[in-house]
Amino acid sequence: MFHIGATVFAGFVAFLGILIAWLEVTPIERQREICRMAEAAPGKEEEFRSTNQTAFVVGYTGETGKVLVEELVNRNIFQKVVLIGRRELNYEGEKYNKLEQKVVDYEKLEDHADLFKGHSVGFCCLGTTRGKSGVEGFKRVDHDYVMTTAKLAKEGGCGHFVLQSSQGANKNSSFLYPRVKGEVEAECADVGFDKLSIFRPGVLMVDRKESRPGEWFARKVLAPLKYIAPTVMTCPVETVAKAMVNIVLSPSEKPSEIFENKAVHLLAKGKLC
Ligand SMILES: NC(=O)c1ccc[n+]([C@@H]2O[C@H](COP(=O)([O-])OP(=O)(O)OC[C@H]3O[C@@H](n4cnc5c(N)ncnc54)[C@H](OP(=O)(O)O)[C@@H]3O)[C@@H](O)[C@H]2O)c1
Ligand SMILES: *[C@@H]1O[C@H](CO)[C@@H](O)[C@H](O)[C@H]1NC(C)=O
Ligand SMILES: *[C@@H]1O[C@H](CO)[C@@H](O)[C@H](O)[C@H]1NC(C)=O
């Protein structure tokens, strides 16, 4: 009996391994275009910088948002970056001079419509979890706050909205998380931005201070994938941030595009192609 059990288990593990390896090596749709966009991005920084554009970031105190701000500061492509959030962070050093922090109450975001005026690009890394905020709280942040942000951005003249969604987003899902993510994606598409870039990273790889046992467990289990199949189910926050900046410099010819986890990796570093 033990033998049969062990054989079935070994077979299952081998199957899973092959599936993951296959997913890792299978090219995605538009792979070459996405790689070309990524490769072209660094060469466009200087020209972009000379156009004096500004951007805003919501969710900038979060794990992805923090890294995105760092990426924006280091690549220095905007004349000004307005950070809109519910609390302030400490930035020390000259390179942070182009950041402006604005503390707002998201329940009254409309009162701050002027903060969203005049930006060519808006980045959204907002989000909470059901564990932290409950079902209603989760919808409030991940749907309502994101949609209010998107609408204010559009009214303020934002031409390119860059939204962090999630792998598995699906408005038809019977599960809360993927459904809300899918609904927000669809509603953002209806807002009518000239350009909409939606990112669907997998499990975010980050050394999170906050305790989230489920996510922590997923990260530990999936950590070895970093070596054998880095683009299948996981995504370092640095990769999301790089990809977000690259898509601004090197926009897709499509007005609206969804980047699945692997595409996010490719967009961050074209040399994978
Ligand atoms: N965790 C994953 O593995 C994973 C995978 C794929 C996609 N995603 C999605 O990616 C996005 C970013 O994830 P993350 O882990 O980087 O985010 P995070 O660390 O949880 O940060 C979320 C951001 O949203 C802000 N926020 C949350 N509740 C708020 C409220 N009530 N009012 C105002 N601001 C609020 C936070 O502000 P404070 O700092 O003040 O709390 C923070 O800036 C989320 O939409 C998430 O669902 C996550
Ligand atoms: C951008 O700002 C610089 C310095 O203020 C100015 O010289 C330049 O003409 C501006 N460029 C555009 C496209 O507005
Ligand atoms: C959701 O359901 C609609 C109607 O059945 C269908 O047309 C659409 O393709 C589905 N979308 C997804 C993401 O599954």
pLDDT in tens, 12-66: 989 998 999 999 999 999 999 999 999 999 999 999 999 999 999 999 999 999 9
% residues pLDDT > 70 (the chain) = 98
Ligand nearest to the CA of 238: 1
- Amino acid 2: pLDDT: 64
Phi, then psi, of 114 in degrees rounded to 5: -65, -25
pLDDT of 272 higher than 60: no
Average per-residue pLDDT in the chain?
Answer: 95
First to last CA, the chain: 46
Work out the average pLDDT over 153-159: 98
- Amino acid 270: pLDDT: 67
How many angstroms separate the CA atoms of 270 and 95, rounded?
A: 27
Ligand 3, residues at Cβ distance < 6 Å: 170, 172
Tell how far the Cα of 9 is from the centroid of ligand 1, in angstroms.
37
Burial code (b: 16+ CB inside 10 Å, e: under 16) for 161-199 equals bbbbbbbbbeeeeeeebbbbbbbbbeebbeeebebbbbb
Assign 4 a pLDDT band (cuts: 50, 70, 90). confident
Work out the average pLDDT over 260-271: 91
Place of tokens 């998380």: 177
Select the more confidently predicted residue: 105 or 272: 105
Ligand 1, residues at Cβ distance < 6 Å: 59-65, 85-87, 106, 125-128, 141-142, 164, 166, 201, 203-204, 215
Determine the residue of 47, 50, 120 to mutate for testing ligand 2's pocket, defined as the one with the most ligand atoms within 8 A of the Cβ atom: 50
Maximum distance among all Cα pairs of the chain, rounded to whole angstroms:
71
Work out the average pLDDT over 116-123: 98
User: Of residues 181, 195, 242, 262, which has the active-site annotation?
Assistant: 181
Assign 5 a pLDDT band (cuts: 50, 70, 90). confident
Domains in the chain: boundaries: 31-269
Tell how far the Cα of 126 is from the centroid of ligand 1, in angstroms.
5
Sequence letter at residue 132? K
- Amino acid 60: pLDDT: 98
Q: Identify the CATH homologous superfamily for domain 31-269.
A: NAD(P)-binding Rossmann-like Domain (3.40.50.720)
Atom of ligand 3 nearest to the CA of 172: 1
pLDDT in tens, 247-260: 999 999 999 999 99
145 catalytic per annotation: no
pLDDT in tens, 125-150: 999 999 999 999 999 999 999 999 99
Atom of ligand 3 nearest to the CA of 170: 13
Sequence letter at residue 26? T
Burial of 12 (C-beta count, 10 Å sphere; 0-12/13-18/19+): exposed
% residues pLDDT > 90 (the chain) = 89
**Residue closest to 237 by CA, chosen among 204, 192, 263:** 204
User: Of residues 91, 96, 106, 177, which has the active-site annotation?
Assistant: 177
- Amino acid 271: pLDDT: 66
Work out the average pLDDT over 144-159: 98
Assign 112 a pLDDT band (cuts: 50, 70, 90). very high
- Amino acid 228: pLDDT: 87
| Tokens standing for residue 96 | 């942070």
pLDDT of 102 higher than 90: yes
Work out the average pLDDT over 176-198: 98
Work out the average pLDDT over 211-237: 91
pLDDT in tens, 57-94: 999 999 999 999 999 999 999 999 999 999 999 999 99
**Residue closest to 37 by CA, chosen among 193, 268, 240, 239:** 268
177 catalytic per annotation: yes
Question: What is the residue with the minimal CA distance to atom 21 of ligand 1?
Answer: 62
Helix then strand count (H, E) for the chain reads 11, 9
CA 4 to chain CA centroid, nearest Å: 44
pLDDT of 174 higher than 60: yes
Question: What is the residue with the minimal CA distance to atom 10 of ligand 3?
Answer: 172
Ligand nearest to the CA of 49: 2
